[in-house]
C-alpha cells in the first residue's frame, strides 16, 4: 500500500477509537464534564496528563527547533521538563486538596473576589487560545501533507473531531480519549526514531544512538559529522550555542513557571480521588513524558543530518520525492540565486517572510518561482521547521506504514492538547463566569448546556487562529507559556504559601503582569507598533519575547507583594483555608488532633 492509503487506514482507525471512547464515556453531569467525576485512577490520569502535556509543539515542533537551533534548542527541553517537575511537586497536591474545578475557581475563592475570578477567566482564555492556535496549525499541517488537502481544510477537519468528543464527553471523555492518544503518539514517535537510529548508528536506542559512531565503519561520531556539515555550510557548530546566557535563563525559567501555571494541565490533578493520587499521577506522567523528551534531540540530529546529506549541493532534478511533496504545500521552497543549478543551503533567510508562489509557474530548473527573494544572503532553501518530524521517516526511506504512523501520532498529540484547552475555555465561561458571577442560580442542566455551547464557540475561534497563526507551532506555544508565567504562577504560589496575600495584591499583580507580557509580545513578536518587526538588538536586557515571561512574572510578584502590604489583610477564614491546604492529609490524626 502507498503512504496515503496507510494514512487513511491508521488515521481512520485511531479517530474511530477516539470517537468510540467519547460515546462510551459521555458526561452526564457537570462534575463529569469538568473533572471526570473526580474518580480517575493515577495511572490513567498520568497517561492522560502526558498526552495533554505533549502537544503538537512537543511532537512536531520541538525536534524541529532543535534540528535548526542545535544547542540553543535545549532551552525547550529544560524549560518544559523542569516546569512539569515544578508543577508536580510544588502545586498539584495543594491545588487538589483545595478541591476546585478550575484555576479561576481557585483564584476566585482563595482571593474572595469575583473581580479576581474575572481577571483569572480572562487570563485563562488568553493563554488557552494562544496555545490552541499552535495545536490547530499542527493538525492542519499533518492533514495537508498526508491527506492531500490544504492546511485550512485540515484545520476544519480537526475542529470537527475535537468538537465531537470534547462537547459530548467533557473531561470524562477527554481523559479516556487521551489515554488512547498517549499510546498512539508515543508509539508513533519512537518507532521511526528506533528505525533511524539502527539505520544510522546500529544502536536501537535513539538516546544512545545520537552519541554513537556511524554504522558506515568510518568511526566518526554522528554529532561530529553534523558539526562538520554545519560548519562547512557556514553555520556555527551544531553543538555550540549562540544565545546569550541571560536569554537562555529567561526562556528556560519562563517555560518552567509557565508550565506550572497552565490551566489545562493543572485541571488534570482535580480528576483524581485523593491528594495522594495527584502525586502518583504526576510521577507517572513525568516518566511517560520523559520517553519522548529524551528522544527528541536524537530525532532532531537524525533529521538534520539526513536532510543535509540528501538535499544540499544537488541539482533540483536530483532531489528526493519527499522534498517535492513538501514544496507543493509551500513548506519547502528553493530559488537558484547564483544560477549554478545546485541547491545551496546556509545561514540567513532565503526569502523575505514565507515564500510567496506565483501561481504554478516554474523556473527552467523546476523550482517554483518565488517573488519575495531575500537578496541579503546566499541561502537558497526555505524549510518550515515544523515538518522535520513528519518528514524524518520519508527522508530516511522508511516503509509507508511508518510514515503514516507518524501522521497519526502527530494528530493524536495535537488533538489531545486541543481538547484539554477547549475544556478549560468552556469551563471558564460556563462555570467561572456564568455559574459563579452572572447567574449563580443556573441549574446543573443549564450549566452543562452552557459548557457545551462554550466549547462549540471555542472550537470556532481556535480554528480561526489555526488558519491564521502568529508563527510556527512551538513559537506560538512558547508565548502561551509566557502569558501563563506572567499571570497565574505568582497568584497560585502566593495563594498557597503566603497567608497575607490578599485580593488587591493578586488582582494588581495579574493585571500588570499579563499587560507587560502582552505589550512585549505585540511589539517584538507581532510588530504592531512598528512598520517592521524590531530586531533582537532592541530586546529589553537582551531577552527574547519567548523569555520575557520571566520578567513579567517578576513584575507580577513585586506588584502583588507591594500592593498587598499597603492594603487590608485577607479575612481570617481565608487564612485558615491556606493553612489547611498546606497540611498533608492525615497529619492532624498523627499529631492527635
pLDDT of residue 527: 57
Give the integer Cα–Cα distance in Å for 97 and 81.
24
More confident residue, 463 or 559: 559
Region for residue 379 given its phi and psi (left: phi exceeds 0; alpha: psi -120 to 50; beta: otherwise):
beta
Residue 166, in any domain of the structure: yes
The predicted pLDDT at position 560 comes to 97
Q: Give yes or no: residues 370 and 453 share one domain.
A: no
Element (H, E) at 124: helix 114-146
pLDDT of the residue at 530: 55
**Cell numbers of 167, please?**
462537547
Residue 589 lies in a domain: no
Write the CA distances from 265 to 49, 400, 560, integer angstroms.
7, 34, 24
Tell whether 413 and 384 lie within a shared domain: no
pLDDT of residue 501: 94
Does one domain contain both 252 and 156? yes
Which grid cell sits at 380?
537558497
Element (H, E) at 332: strand 332-334
**Mean per-residue pLDDT, 229-239:** 88
**Which region among 268-277, 315-324, 488-497 has the lowest average model confidence (pLDDT)?**
268-277
Query: Is the pLDDT reported for residue 55 higher than 80?
Result: no
| 135 and 103 both lie in a single domain | yes
Query: Cα dihedral angle (507, 513, 514, 520), rounded to 10 degrees?
Result: 160
Residue 133 belongs to a domain with what CATH number?
Answer: 1.20.1730.10
**Highest mean pLDDT, choosing among 163-167, 189-193, 353-357, 363-367:** 189-193
Check residue 364 and give its pLDDT.
Answer: 36
For residue 301, give the nearest of 79, 61, 63, 58 by alpha carbon.
63
- pLDDT, one tens digit per residue, over 160-217 is 877 776 666 666 777 888 888 899 999 999 999 999 999 999 999 999 999 999 988 8
The answer as to whether 225 is a domain residue is: yes
Which phi-psi region, left, alpha or beta, contains residue 238 (left: φ > 0; alpha: ψ -120 to 50)?
alpha
Burial class (CB in 10 A: 0-12, 13-18, 19+), 266: buried
The whole-angstrom separation of Cα 118 and Cα 516 is 19
Higher pLDDT: 557 or 523? It is: 557
527, three cell numbers: 510588530
Residue 315, helix vs strand vs coil? strand
- Residue 116 shares a structural domain with residue 36: yes
Contacts of 493 (CB under 8 A, 6+ apart): 90, 91
User: In this structure, are 168 and 289 located in the same domain?
Assistant: yes
pLDDT the model gives residue 478 = 67
Assess if residue 241 is contained within a domain: yes
Label residues 370-381 b or e (16+ Cβ within 10 Å = b).
Answer: beebbeeeebbb
Which of 345, 364, 393 terminates a domain? The answer is 393
Both 44 and 170 in one domain: the answer is yes
**Spatial CA neighbour of 249 closest among 86, 79, 64, 90:** 79
Predicted confidence (pLDDT) at residue 347 exceeds the cutoff of 70: yes
Residues sharing a CB contact under 8 Å with residue 324, sequence separation 6 or more, in sequence order = none
What is the enclosing helix (H) or strand (E) of 109?
helix 103-110
pLDDT at 79 over 80: yes
| Whether residues 426 and 329 fall in one domain | no
Q: Are residues 182 and 223 in the same domain?
A: yes
Whether 405 and 513 map to the same domain: the answer is yes
Mean pLDDT, rounded, for 462-471: 70
- Structural domains of the chain, count: 2
Same-domain check for residues 23 and 144: yes
As to burial, measured by CB atoms within 10 angstroms (0-12 exposed, 13-18 middle, 19+ buried), residue 387 is: buried
pLDDT range class, residue 370, cuts 50, 70, 90: low
Mark which of 364, 393, 422 sits at the end of a domain. 393
Q: What is the mean pLDDT of residues 493-522?
A: 92
- Does 468 reside within a domain? yes
Contacts for 176 with CB less than 8 Å, ≥ 6 apart: 21, 24, 25, 44, 48, 169
Do residues 339 and 428 share a domain? no
Residue 311 lies in a domain: no
Residue that terminates a domain, selected from 343, 378, 393: 393
Q: What residues contact 513, with CB distance under 8 A and at least 6 apart?
A: 486, 487, 490, 552, 553, 555, 556, 559
The residue segments making up the domain with residue 52 are 3-306+394-584
**Residue showing cell 502526558:** 50
Looking at the predicted structure, is the pLDDT value of residue 367 above 90? no
Q: Where is 362: in which H helix or E strand?
A: strand 357-362
- Could you tell me if residue 590 is inside a domain? no
In a domain, 312, yes or no: no
- The residue behind cell 481523559 is 175
CB 490 within 8 A of CB 556: yes
Amino acid at each position: 500500500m502507498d503512504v496515503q492509503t496507510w494514512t487513511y487506514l491508521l488515521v481512520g482507525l485511531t479517530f474511530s477509537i477516539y470517537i468510540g471512547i467519547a460515546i462510551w464515556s459521555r458526561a452526564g453531569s457537570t462534575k463529569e464534564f469538568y473533572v471526570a467525576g473526580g474518580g480517575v485512577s493515577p495511572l490513567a490520569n498520568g497517561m492522560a496528563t502526558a498526552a495533554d502535556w505533549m502537544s503538537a509543539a512537543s511532537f512536531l515542533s520541538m525536534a524541529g527547533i532543535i534540528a535548526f537551533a542545535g544547542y540553543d534548542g535545549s532551552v525547550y527541553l529544560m524549560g518544559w521538563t523542569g516546569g512539569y517537575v515544578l508543577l508536580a511537586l510544588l502545586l498539584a497536591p495543594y491545588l487538589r486538596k483545595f478541591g476546585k474545578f478550575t484555576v479561576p475557581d481557585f483564584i476566585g475563592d482563595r482571593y474572595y473576589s469575583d473581580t479576581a475570578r474575572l481577571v483569572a477567566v480572562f487570563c485563562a482564555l488568553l493563554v488557552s487560545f494562544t496555545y490552541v492556535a499552535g495545536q490547530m496549525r499542527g493538525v492542519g499541517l499533518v492533514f495537508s501533507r498526508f491527506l492531500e488537502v490544504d492546511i485550512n481544510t485540515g484545520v476544519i477537519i480537526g475542529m470537527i473531531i475535537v468538537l465531537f468528543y470534547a462537547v459530548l464527553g467533557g473531561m470524562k471523555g477527554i481523559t479516556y480519549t487521551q489515554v488512547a492518544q498517549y499510546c498512539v503518539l508515543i508509539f508513533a514517535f519512537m518507532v521511526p526514531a528506533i528505525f533511524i537510529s539502527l539505520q544510522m548508528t546500529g544502536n536501537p536506542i535513539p538516546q544512545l544512538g545520537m552519541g554513537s559512531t556511524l554504522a558506515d565503519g568510518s568511526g566518526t561520531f554522528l554529532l561530529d559529522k553534523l558539526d562538520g556539515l554545519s560548519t562547512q555550510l557556514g553555520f556555527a557548530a551544531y553543538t555550540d550555542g549562540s544565545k546569550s546566557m541571560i536569554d537562555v535563563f529567561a526562556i528556560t525559567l519562563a517555560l518552567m513557571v509557565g508550565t506550572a501555571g497552565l490551566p489545562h494541565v493543572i485541571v488534570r490533578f482535580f480528576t483524581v480521588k485523593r491528594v495522594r493520587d495527584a502525586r502518583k499521577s504526576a510521577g507517572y506522567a513525568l516518566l511517560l513524558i520523559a520517553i519522548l523528551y529524551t528522544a527528541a534531540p536524537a530525532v532532531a540530529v537524525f533529521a538534520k543530518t539526513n536532510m543535509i546529506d540528501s538535499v544540499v549541493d544537488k541539482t533540483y532534478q536530483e532531489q528526493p520525492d519527499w522534498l517535492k511533496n513538501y514544496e507543493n504545500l509551500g513548506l519547502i521552497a528553493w530559488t537558484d540565486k547564483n544560477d549554478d543549478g545546485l541547491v545551496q543551503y546556509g545561514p540567513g533567510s532565503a526569502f523575505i517572510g514565507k515564500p510567496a508562489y506565483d501561481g504554478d509557474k516554474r523556473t527552467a530548473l523546476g523550482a517554483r518561482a518565488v517573488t519575495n527573494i531575500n537578496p541579503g544572503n546566499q541561502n537558497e532553501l526555505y524549510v518550515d521547521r515544523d515538518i522535520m518530524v513528519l518528514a524524518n521517516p520519508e527522508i530516511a526511506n522508511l516503509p509507508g506504514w511508518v510514515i503514516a504512523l507518524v501522521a497519526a501520532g502527530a494528530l493524536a498529540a495535537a488533538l489531545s492538547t486541543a481538547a484539554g484547552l477547549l475544556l478549560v475555555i468552556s469551563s471558564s465561561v460556563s462555570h467561572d463566569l456564568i455559574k459563579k458571577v452572572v447567574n449563580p442560580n443556573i441549574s446543573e442542566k443549564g450549566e452543562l448546556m452552557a459548557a457545551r455551547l462554550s466549547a462549540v464557540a471555542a472550537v470556532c475561534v481556535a480554528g480561526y487562529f489555526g488558519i491564521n497563526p502568529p508563527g510556527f507551532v512551538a513559537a506560538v506555544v512558547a508565548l502561551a507559556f509566557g502569558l501563563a508565567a506572567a499571570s497565574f504562577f505568582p497568584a497560585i504560589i502566593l495563594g498557597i504559601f503566603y497567608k497575607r496575600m490578599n485580593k488587591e495584591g493578586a488582582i494588581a499583580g495579574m493585571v500588570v503582569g499579563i499587560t507587560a507580557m502582552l505589550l512585549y509580545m505585540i511589539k517584538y513578536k507581532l510588530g504592531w507598533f512598528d512598520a517592521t518587526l524590531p530586531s533582537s538588538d532592541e530586546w529589553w536586557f537582551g531577552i527574547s519575547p519567548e523569555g520575557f515571561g520571566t520578567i513579567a512574572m517578576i513584575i507580577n510578584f513585586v506588584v502583588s507583594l507591594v500592593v498587598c502590604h499597603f492594603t487590608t489583610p485577607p479575612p481570617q477564614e481565608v487564612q485558615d483555608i491556606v493553612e489547611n491546604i498546606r497540611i498533608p492529609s492525615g497529619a492532624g490524626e498523627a499529631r492527635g488532633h
